[in-house]
Amino acid sequence: MKTSSSLSSDPSFLALAITNWNPLPGGMTVTLTTSLVIYNAASAGHDAASVSGSDVNYDFTFRLSDVDESTDTDSLGQGLASHSVPSAQAQQGLSTSGFILVDAEVEVVMPMAECEDVAYLCVSLTEGAGASYVDSNAGNNIFCRGVATLKSCHPGMSLL
């Protein structure tokens, strides 16, 4: 549990893999299975201790975007319906310069009106409720993966 004496760490993303490449038809809900690789980039920081009970170290937000949000600002504002992360994975500790893997199932609803503009699935990381650390650099907590090849903005439509 985070206290006023919690030590600083710097969890940041190294990768976002989509492990089931399901098509994303416009207007329909699809569940994507993802794997996130998180790295403790704190060069002079500390380990993030594991937590238990209802506490979690990591909280995630997934959304569709027209840009890579790690370098640009989203103009679509498309939040996703829901996602789930196994609690044991969200409670993991993270040693300095260490890596952890977190799996997430994400329900994606490709909006018809913005389907042509959507190019990325982005995930952001924040300190979870009861986290054992204070994030020393929240500026490196977004990672995006291109999804343009998964889109089907006109499902059921075929060219003759």
**CATH classification at residue 110:** 2.60.40.10
Q: Strands of 120-127's sheet, edge to edge?
A: 78-79, 58-65, 120-127, 142-146
For 29-74, the pLDDT digits (tens) are 888 999 999 999 876 678 999 999 999 999 999 988 888 887 777 6
- Give the rounded distance of the alpha carbon of 78 from its chain centre: 14
For 96-120, the pLDDT digits (tens) are 889 999 999 998 888 888 888 888 8
Question: For the whole model, what pTM was predicted?
Answer: 0.85
Residue 157 lies in a domain: no
Residue 117 lies in a domain: yes
Residue 101 lies in a domain: yes
- Rounded Cα–Cα distance for residues 67 and 71 (Å): 8
Residue 94 lies in a domain: yes
Question: How confident is residue 28, by pLDDT bands cut at 50, 70 and 90?
Answer: confident
Number of domains composing the chain: 1
Residue 160 lies in a domain: no
Q: Which are the contacts of 60, defined by CB distance < 8 A and separation ≥ 6? A: 36, 83, 85, 102, 104, 123, 124, 125, 126
The residue segments making up the domain with residue 45 are: 7-151
Residue 1 lies in a domain: no
Residue 40 lies in a domain: yes
Residue 73 lies in a domain: yes
